[in-house]
Amino acid sequence: MTASAAAWNSATPGDELTRGERLMSIGEVLAHLRGEFPDVTISKLRFLETEGLVEPRRTPAGYRKYTWTDVARLRYVLTAQRDQYLPLRVIREHLATMREPLTEVSDVVPQEAPSEVRLTRDELLNKTGLTEKALAALEDHGLLKPRPGAGYDADALEVATAAARLAEFGVEPRHLRAYRASADRDIGLFSQLVTPLTRQPGPAGRARAADTVHELAALTQRVHAALVRAGLREILGK
């Protein structure tokens, strides 16, 4: 079970409207989520509903009405996609195994959205502990670069943080060039799989494309890790 899954509290099903029994429109829910997930759209919320990840109530006129439990579920889903790259199928399984409902939005710890992360060069060095020489080497090998006029984003921070940790084991930026080549191959392959989804009518196609990218990335990471473990099994004595 993930760390987010452990956030489910001990409220009972009948307590889900304890905050004044207020129900929210889809627009209000979107406003609550946009601070952490600026790319979320109404179409994305509807898509998650069709995938069975949230079940808002319906008024007699057919309008969606959400509880705080629904908002917290949505935050759980969006956080799991963003931070752990989990596919919706796995997230749905996690939700199904949780015995208690989530009733407070704060039960899922908010994290800074990747698209909002913008660091200067000095900030990136301070956050990761990289030296200027090491950062320059990572850039020379094509492993990270600043976004034009916007500084370094969350992906650059992720690469720099991992590279700094790897350097403690003696792994240098030049040793990581193969990962750049591997990533480029994955980008080429995945783009062929995802592009047709973005051409589907309506915003749901783009949402499905984003979900597919998350799942493909997660699966390839699993394959890579398994192959490394298998290759080193003899050394590890397992």
pLDDT digits (tens, 9 = 90+) for 215-237: 788 788 878 888 888 899 888 77
pLDDT of residue 234: 82
Count other C-beta atoms under 10 Å from residue 14's C-beta: 8
pLDDT of residue 21: 55
pLDDT of residue 84: 79
Choose among 194, 191, 170, 182: nearest CA to 221.
Answer: 182
Helix/strand/coil (H/E/C) assignment for every residue in 47-81: HHHHCCCCCCEECCCCCEEECHHHHHHHHHHHHHH
pLDDT of residue 189: 92
Cα distance between residue 104 and residue 11, in whole Å = 10
Give pLDDT < 50 ranges for the chain: 1-20, 103-115
Q: Is the dihedral of CA 109, 115, 118, 124 positive or negative?
A: positive
pLDDT of residue 137: 95
- Containing H/E element for 134? helix 132-140
pLDDT of residue 139: 95
pLDDT of residue 188: 93
Q: pTM of the full predicted structure?
A: 0.54
